Amino acid sequence: MINNLGNTMFDNKTILITGGTGSFGKKYVKTLLERYNPKKIIIFSRDELKQFEMQQEFNQPCMRYFIGDVRDKDRLRRAMRGVNYVIHAAALKQVPAAEYNPMECIKTNINGAENVIDAALDNDVEKVIALSTDKAANPINLYGATKLASDKLFVAANNIAGGNRTTFSVVRYGNVVCSRGSVVPIFQKFIEQGQDHIPITHEEMTRFWISLQQGVDFVLTNFERMLGGEIFVPKIPSIRITDLAKAMAPDLPVKIIGIRPGEKLHEIMCPSDLCFDTYEFDDHFVIAPGIKFSSRCNDFDTNALNEQGKKVEVGFEYNSLSNPHFLTIEEIDAFNIQALI
């Protein structure tokens, strides 16, 4: 992935991050402050305690903290005044919770996406990137279905924009190593509690493997790459969950507890049904829009950085099981998981 050091794209710019107190938001802010000289960084989220705690770590003069919910369009409109770039990271993400509370998930993930789009257009924001998930590809759970709907909204927003300069794109990747809700902190908790086993939902389960910093760097670079309407997918390795357990707790046996409601055995990030719209680049894939734009670019084999891509083969699917790059137990162990928790 491209190194952003020396780039000035975010210098003297105002950036707003919805759900900015989460794992991604904190790492994104840290990276922006280390590499750029932003005019303002606005954290937009609904939890005042998390904002208070984040302010203790990030209290630079450029930092702003807005209490607000993406369900509240008026609050979003006010927060986005003068904003150049938006990263939409706010979502209800827990799969079982979404299954049991479907309307709440829809209100945040779908209605909230519409509100972000409207507020960005009303304020003539330059660029918006929405964070997606592997679960939006061929979804089998409500969370994935709401994120698929959200992805479709952000892609179509480029047509809604008309002559407005605002462009919208999506970044999709799987579970982030050591982020809140990922399996790594759960395993670590069992280890620290002195449990006599590691619980695993299925012995054949696989997942894509990406660090928080890799995810942040990918989003930063895609602000430069984006034409508007693409779904960006990084090329990353896969792991077997049993190998992760062995790397973290080599002396503990695993116990199979069964797949949770709405959980997949393997992750898919580029479905085979979309192979006709999928392009392969050196370090990522792009899923081009299925719709045609009336006033935007419709050619996605070359991005704004002049990187060249090519159509994937018919039937291609980017799947954590068929991924040619799997990490070994030794490679997982060398990742220094403990330093990331």
Provide DSSP, 126-144. SEEEEE--GGGSS--SHHH
Query: What are the tokens at 215?
Result: 């995810």
Query: What are the tokens at 143?
Result: 């969370």
DSSP state of 159: H
Q: Specify whether 127 is catalytic.
A: no
How do 40-45 and 63-67 pair as beta strands? parallel
Catalytic entry in 73, 135, 147, 264? 135
d(CA 48, CA 99): 26
Neighbours of 306 (CB within 10 A): 7
Neighbours of 27 (CB within 10 A): 18
Residue 130 β-bridge partners: 88, 170
Helix (H, G, I), strand (E, B), or coil: what is residue 162?
Answer: coil
Task: Give CA 71 to chain center in angstroms.
Answer: 19
Neighbours of 159 (CB within 10 A): 17
From the CA atom positions of the chain, what is the Rg in Å? 20
For residue 317, the surrounding DSSP H or E stretch is: none
Helix (H, G, I), strand (E, B), or coil: what is residue 31?
Answer: helix
Residue 86 β-bridge partners: 16, 128
CB 157 within 8 A of CB 116: no
Provide DSSP, 240-302. EHHHHHHHH-TTSPEEE--PPTT--SS-EEE-GGGGGGEEE-SSEEEE--SSPPSSS----SB
Provide DSSP, 76-145. HHHHTTT-SEEEE------HHHHHH-HHHHHIIIIIHHHHHHHHHHHTT-SEEEEE--GGGSS--SHHHH
Positions marked active-site:
135
